[in-house]
Structure formats: structure tokens, C-alpha cells
Amino acid sequence: MSTKEQQERIELLQGTLDLLILRTLQLGPLHGHAIAKAIEFRSDEVLQVEQGSLYPALHRLIKRNWISVEAGTSENNRRAKFYALTAKGRKQLSVETNKWEKLAAAIAQVLKPARQEER
């Protein structure tokens, strides 16, 4: 059973990055570097994503048909791959967001009394 737990933990971590990517792409298609920048910027640079880990995540999302790829040119006129949300990905984003909010609320609920006790 230990393998299963481990898998779930990895799933959770991956899921978080996946969620962030999906959310970022909701605003429109972006290329890889721009996604990393956007996540950094929107989290007030709190979330320092190791930029490389973006790529396995992107491919995972492509494979699940949550995002699609197309060729395009970046802001400084270079050829780049643009990633865009698919209909399936949009649906998934709302599901994942919902889940995340519930989880965050639940964890907050659990943590609250502990903070009071400390005082």
C-alpha cells in the first residue's frame, strides 16, 4: 500500500503545478517562458517555480488533452510554441479550483485552533 500513498502525494504536488498552469492559460495562449514568468509575477514572486519542471507538466497536460500546442511568434519576434487551454482543460480547471478551495479551507479550519492554543 505504501506505493499507492506515495503516488498520491506525487499526484498532489504535480496537480498543484498543473492547476497553476491551467489557471495561467485561462487568460490566453502563452509560450513556456511566459507561463513561468506569469506564475512568478501573479504570486508576487512567492512561488519560485523551478522553470524546468514546467516542461514535464506541460507534456502531461498535453497528453491528457487539457491543453493544446500551436506554433507562433513571441513578443520579441522569435519562433515559439504557444500553449492554449482546451475545452476539456477549462472544465478540469474549474474542477481542480473547486477541489483546491475546499482543501485549503479544510486545512485552514484544522489549523486555526492550533494557533489560538499557542497564544
Partner 1 sequence: MTRRKKMLQQLDNDIREHIEHETQDNIDRGMTPEEAHYAALRKFGNVARVKEQTHEVWMITWLEQLWQDVRFGVRALRRSPSLTVAAVLAIALGVGINVGIFSVLNGLALRLLPIPRANEILSVNQVLRFRGKGLRYINNNSGYFSWSEYRDYRDHNHVFSGVAAYQPYVEATLAGSNPRSILGAAASCNYFDVLQESPALGRGFGADDCAAAGANAVVVVSDAMWRNQLGADRALIGKAIVLNRVHYTVIGIARPGFTGTEPIPSAFWVPVTMSAVLEPDEKRLANDNMSWLAMLGRLRPQVSPEQVRADLDVIAQRINQQYSGRTTSLSIHTARYLSSPEERQFLIPVSSVILAAFGLVLLIACANVTNLLLARASVRQKEIALRLSLGAGRGRLVRQLLTESLLLSMAGGILGSIIACWSFMRLTGFITSHLPGDFPPISINATPDLHVLFYALLLTFCTGIAFGLVPALQSTRPNLNSSMHGDGAAVGGKRRRRFLLKALVGAQVAVCMVLLMAAGLLLRGLYYAQTVDPGFEIKGVATTLLNLSHQGYDAPRATQFMTRYVEGLSAIPGVTDVARAECAPLAHDFSGDHFTLQGSSEQIPIEYNHVTPSYFSLTGIPIVRGRNFTAAETHDASGVIVTESTARRLWPGQDPLGQTLRETSGHVRTVIGIARDAQVAHLGDSTSNYLYYPFGPEDNARSYVLVRYAASFNDVSNGMRTAALSIDPNLSVDVTRLEDYLEVWRAPSRLVAWLSSTLGGLALLLCSIGVYGMVSYSVSRSVREIGIRLALGADKGAVVRLVLWQSMRPVLIGGIVGIVLCAAVSSVLSSMMFGVGAHDPIAFVAVPCFLLGVALLATLIPARRAMDVDPAVALRCE
The site for partner 1 (CB under 8 A) is made up of 31-33, 36-37, 50-53, 55-56, 59-60, 62-63, 69, 74, 76, 78-81
Q: Work out how close the CB of 46 gets to partner 1 at its nearest, in angstroms, rounded to a whole number.
A: 15
Contacts of 114 (CB under 8 A, 6+ apart): none
Q: Which three cell numbers stand for residue 44?
A: 508576487
Q: For the chain, how many residues are written?
A: 119
Residue 51 vs 97, nearer CB to partner 1: 51
Euclidean distance between CA atoms 16 and 76, whole angstroms = 30
Q: Work out how close the CB of 116 gets to partner 1 at its nearest, in angstroms, rounded to a whole number.
A: 40
Residue 20 vs 31, nearer CB to partner 1: 31
Q: Work out how close the CB of 30 gets to partner 1 at its nearest, in angstroms, rounded to a whole number.
A: 12
Pairing of strands 79-85, 30-31: antiparallel
Residue 28 vs 56, nearer CB to partner 1: 56
Query: DSSP code of 64?
Result: T
Which residue(s) pair with 70 in the sheet? Answer: 82
Q: Work out how close the CB of 31 gets to partner 1 at its nearest, in angstroms, rounded to a whole number.
A: 8
